Structure 1
Amino acid sequence: MLNDYTYAKNPKSHIYYCSKKNKGCKARVKLDRNGIIINKAEDSTHFHPPPKYYQTSSGEYIKLSS
């Protein structure tokens, strides 16, 4: 999760695509091996609002229905 948006990792690289990629969102971010952002794509603007999550006292996130 980054700036309230969720991402899915490309299994062949360190690039994470917006979890709404299949709906047309082109936002993505690249991380180094330590999880540090090294490159945001020029087209990193989301066209949709971020998903809503609730964080439990143990630190887990639960996605809320919209």
Structure 2
Amino acid sequence: MKKMVSNNPSSNQKGIDSSKLHVTFLSGSPTKAALGKLATLNSQSDQFRVRGREIYLHCPDGYGRS
């Protein structure tokens, strides 16, 4: 768990509310095609980054509004 927290690219940014950070665990590394589809879901407020088999999601307006 410590490694997952330290790998979160948004955890060290100033002004980020840590209660708005989420992580999803994948069973394997995503393909380039899957990453392309995922990129189409990005919005101006929500941001995600993929690191290995984890997807780190920052939803500043809340996960329910994502």
Mark the structure with the bigger radius of gyration. 1
Identify the structure with bigger relative contact order (alpha carbons < 8 Å, sequence gap 6+): 2
Select the structure that is richer in strand.
Answer: 1
Select the structure that is richer in helix.
Answer: 2
Common fold by TM > 0.5: no
- TM-score between the two structures when normalised by the length of structure 2: 0.23
